[in-house]
Amino acid sequence: MSKVVVRGFSVSLDGFGAGPRQDLQNPLGVGGPEMFSWFMQTRTWRKMQGQEGGTTDVDDEIATQAMSGLGAWILGRNMFGPVRGPWPDESWRGWWGEEPPYHVPVFVLTHHARPSFTMKGNTTFHFVTDGIHAALARAKEAAGAKDVRIGGGPATIRQYLREGLIDELQLTLSPVLLGAGEPLLAGIDLRALGYECVKHTSSQRAVAHILLRKRP
């Protein structure tokens, strides 16, 4: 059965899901990549970069699961790029080069319309201007029996959490202090929303992989 999921999303020890001052040079904000060092050492990540080698431990298992069984993604505007306000033109096509890692339809939340476009590897970006529910309906239709992944950023995940629309969250707690940035769970009462921890695993890199699931 298709689920709405968050997977492979790293959180700092002080609760931030992205660092401050996101820009072209800092897609994850200043200090943000430190939270994902566990992921960037895995065989899964290196394969995505066209490289060999990498770790094959629990971190790689989590990385593989995070990219598997997905039929569509939903991204916030900031996850797609650093451009703010109305699109000045259509030159910005994402952080990822000519072949993004998605290979399925991706629905980008925005207040400013833009035509859809397809990139190498069968990733099609659609820009949704009528809210999170409309984006989810379109993503579910595109995904069919596969899962829909809410890719972030933190503000987008919080919006879907508040509406109780996420079935599972797989979070990775990284031993990093950012000091500032965008908090992931600020103002969110997960317990009241019906979420519970159903699995937690530690890795050799001192990160904790935590799976939260919404009770029926």
For 161-194, what is each residue's pLDDT tens digit? Answer: 999 999 999 999 999 999 999 999 999 999 999 9
Tally of residues, the chain: 216
- At 124, the amino acid letter reads T
- At 71, the amino acid letter reads G
Q: Say yes or no to pLDDT of 25 above 90.
A: no
What is the band of 51 on the pLDDT scale with cuts at 50, 70, 90? confident
Residue 39 lies in a domain: yes
| Sheet (strand 70-75) strand order | 117-119, 123-128, 105-109, 70-75, 147-152, 4-11, 168-173, 208-214, 195-202
Residue 20 lies in a domain: no
pLDDT digits (tens, 9 = 90+) for 66-107: 999 999 999 999 999 988 899 999 899 988 889 999 999 999
What is the band of 22 on the pLDDT scale with cuts at 50, 70, 90? confident
Q: Say yes or no to pLDDT of 26 above 90.
A: no
The token duo for 91 is 């030159």
Residue 24 lies in a domain: no
Long-range contacts of 86-92 (CB under 8 A, 24+ apart): 86/112, 87/112, 87/114, 90/114, 90/115, 90/117
CATH number at residue 46: 3.40.430.10
Nearest to 59 by CA among 209, 170, 214, 199: 209
> What is the total count of domains within the chain?
1
What is the band of 136 on the pLDDT scale with cuts at 50, 70, 90? very high
Residue 205 lies in a domain: yes
Residue 92 lies in a domain: no
Residue 136 lies in a domain: yes
Structural domain span for residue 127: 4-15+32-80+100-214
Residue 26 lies in a domain: no
Other CB atoms within 10 A of residue 150 CB: 26
Q: What is the pTM of this model?
A: 0.93
Residue 159 lies in a domain: yes
